[in-house]
């Protein structure tokens, strides 16, 4: 096993990798930009080295500087985390050329997945279901229009080299095709330097389900169950859970088998994710393989009890996979959401600034917090504004959702605006509760999750809050009275009862930054509550 590992990343994923390394007795090396000099991952690592200016281009994306630090610090391996250089085949090659181990798949495996078109052809040859479409070299407008007519509408135009929801267009009729093609090609060229596109049938109301796969250098490949990521906004995942509430046992087995076929087709070693799009009928199609650890890997860890970073380290060190396919556990239900410094009311504009207050629920057997910041830290403009990942686990989905609502209620952020209210609305929405959400639902119904900035509080909501608070106060006081030296004393109760009239109580609430007052009369669940006159 490695004695020292450099982590070529930052934030919560760097802190996450450090935790596993520390438990395994492996020393860690952090690298940081000038914007991250006092960041949590730097404080947690055994050593830290500056590698450049505040922007990723000046620091985190400088593979040469990172390798130089690894050699100087005496590290034997580099863990790339996710994002930045994690799927950069040239960086993986450079790490190997320097005599170091890249903790991830080989550069050859990455290159096979680097082109969506090439990956699709490869998967089809391996017997993995793919969406009907066109991936050809001929990119002339006439050929693409002819292929679009053959595939039929609706269809999707996708940049062949890229991701993150960029370079994608849904086309519903032939007369919309050419304008969308030109727009997509321009965006792809600007974002990825290449304007090649592929066409594929668009699946209406799809689910997004991904399978966690693992391979080793000894020819073994297995999957570690699925995650459902159908709650998305502009192709970005918002809520992830495992197991999927949509899959039947038969469909789950078929998708797991297809994912392992996909991994074997590219001689995959280490952690990866095979992503599928699933039609309402249950028909599923290969989308892509993410050749790295995913942001949402904690839900797999919570339901299997496995440490995926430890698996990554062991596989990279040459060890075989710790378990066979039939030994992979599954217990309960886990859900993850991401707490961001962003303003949902302003189109989810990213936020920045000092976290003047950061209150998160206490970690427990049911609640996990993965974060790269603490109260007093600064959310900088140079990086993704994620504050923390909130992951919950319980015996079934209904209980896990209840845990998540409770955990979100304990979150409080002061400084930059956050998406807490959006997440609270999300986890109470019928489409989530009933597990009926598809990948486009949030974009079609965003107003159901984000209230206008000037929306007043609903009077019934304030009345309900007042009633709940009154009952809670009375219940708490009754419990305290029961354990006092005189449990039967009426003076120990705070139930608002008064001889001849009901006691008046003042209540105050904070709602979307404004203070709201209520005046209550009554006791024992029978109240008169006055709000706003």
Active-site residue, 292 included: yes
Catalytic residue, chosen from 16, 196, 292, 338, is 292
CA atoms within 13 A on the CB side of 419: 27
Assigned token pair, 452: 């206008």
Which residue range is the domain that position 515 belongs to?
Answer: 459-531
Residue 400 lies in a domain: yes
Residue 359 lies in a domain: yes
The 10s digit of each residue's pLDDT in 229-265 is 999 998 899 999 999 999 999 999 999 999 999 999 9
Query: How many domains, in total, are found in the chain?
Result: 4
Residue 383 lies in a domain: yes
Q: Which pLDDT value is given to residue 502?
A: 61
Are residue 279 and residue 420 in the same domain, yes or no? yes
For 375, which DSSP code?
Answer: T
Return the H-helix or E-strand segment holding 78.
Answer: strand 77-79
Q: Which pLDDT value is given to residue 492?
A: 67
pTM here is 0.85
Are residue 271 and residue 407 in the same domain, yes or no? yes
Are residue 330 and residue 406 in the same domain, yes or no? yes
Q: What is the CATH number of the domain that holds 83?
A: 3.40.50.20
CA distance 93 to 230: 34
The 10s digit of each residue's pLDDT in 321-371 is 999 999 999 999 999 999 999 999 899 999 999 999 999 999 999 999 999
Instruction: Name every residue whose Cβ is closer than 8 Å to that of residue 276 and which is 6 or more positions away in sequence.
Output: 208, 209, 210, 211, 255, 258, 259, 284, 285, 286, 287
Are residue 45 and residue 153 in the same domain, yes or no? no
Are residue 405 and residue 433 in the same domain, yes or no? yes
Residue 127 lies in a domain: no
Are residue 176 and residue 226 in the same domain, yes or no? no
Are residue 352 and residue 298 in the same domain, yes or no? yes
- Strand, coil or helix: what is 143? helix
Q: Which pLDDT value is given to residue 473?
A: 86
Q: Which pLDDT value is given to residue 493?
A: 64
Residue 195 lies in a domain: yes
Residue 197 lies in a domain: yes
Residue 502 lies in a domain: yes
Assigned token pair, 149: 């007519």
Low-confidence ranges of the chain (pLDDT < 70): 163-164, 453, 491-502
CA distance 292 to 103: 9
Residue ending a domain, choose from 416, 448, 480: 448
């Amino acid at each position: 096993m490695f004695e020292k590992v450099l982590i070529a990343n930052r934030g919560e994923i760097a802190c996450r990798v450090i935790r596993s390394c520390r438990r395994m007795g492996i020393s860690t090396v952090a690298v940081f930009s000038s914007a991250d000099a006092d960041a949590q991952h730097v404080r947690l690592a055994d050593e830290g080295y500056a590698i450049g200016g505040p922007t990723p281009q000046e620091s985190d994306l400088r593979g040469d500087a990172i390798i130089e630090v690894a050699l100087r610090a005496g590290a034997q391996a580099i863990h790339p985390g996710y994002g930045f250089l994690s799927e950069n085949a040239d960086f993986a090659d450079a790490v190997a050329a320097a005599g170091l181990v890249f903790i991830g798949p080989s550069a050859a495996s990455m290159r096979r997945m680097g082109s969506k078109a090439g990956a699709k052809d490869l998967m089809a040859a391996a017997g993995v279901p793919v969406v009907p479409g066109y991936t050809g070299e001929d990119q002339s407008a006439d050929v693409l229009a002819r292929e679009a007519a053959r595939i039929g509408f609706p269809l999707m135009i996708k940049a062949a080299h890229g991701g993150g929801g960029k370079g994608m267009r849904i086309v519903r009729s032939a007369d919309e095709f050419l304008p969308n093609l030109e727009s997509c090609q321009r965006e792809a060229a600007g974002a990825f330097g290449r304007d090649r596109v592929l066409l594929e049938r668009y699946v209406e109301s799809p689910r997004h389900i991904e399978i966690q796969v693992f391979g080793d250098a000894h020819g073994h490949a297995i999957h570690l169950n699925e995650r459902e990521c159908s709650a998305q906004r502009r192709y970005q995942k918002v809520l992830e859970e495992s197991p999927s509430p949509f899959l039947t046992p038969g469909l789950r087995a078929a998708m797991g088998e297809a994912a392992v076929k996909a991994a074997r087709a590219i001689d995959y070693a280490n952690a990866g994710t095979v992503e599928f799009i699933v039609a309402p009928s249950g028909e599923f199609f290969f989308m892509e393989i993410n050749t790295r650890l995913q942001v949402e890997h904690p839900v797999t860890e919570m339901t299997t009890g496995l440490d995926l970073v430890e698996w990554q380290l062991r596989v990279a060190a040459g060890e075989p996979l710790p378990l066979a396919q039939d030994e992979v556990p599954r217990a309960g239900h886990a859900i993850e959401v991401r707490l961001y410094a962003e303003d949902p009311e302003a189109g989810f504009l990213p936020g920045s600034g000092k976290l003047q207050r950061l209150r998160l629920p206490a970690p427990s057997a049911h609640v996990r917090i993965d974060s790269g910041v603490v109260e007093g830290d600064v959310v900088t403009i140079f990086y993704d504004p994620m504050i923390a990942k909130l992951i919950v686990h319980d015996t079934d989905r209904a209980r896990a959702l209840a845990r998540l609502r409770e955990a979100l209620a304990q979150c409080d952020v002061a400084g930059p605006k956050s998406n807490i209210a959006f997440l609270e609305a999300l986890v109470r929405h019928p489409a989530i509760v009933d597990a009926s959400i598809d990948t486009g639902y949030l974009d079609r119904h965003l107003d159901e999750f984000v209230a206008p900035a000037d929306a007043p509080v609903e009077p019934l909501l304030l009345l309900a809050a007042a009633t709940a608070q009154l009952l809670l106060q009375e219940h708490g006081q009754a419990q305290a009275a029961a354990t006092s030296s005189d449990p039967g004393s009426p003076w120990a109760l705070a139930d608002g009862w008064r001889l001849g009239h009901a006691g008046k109580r003042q209540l105050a609430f904070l709602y979307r930054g404004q203070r709201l007052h209520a005046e209550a009369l009554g006791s024992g669940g029978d109240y008169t509550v006055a709000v706003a006159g």
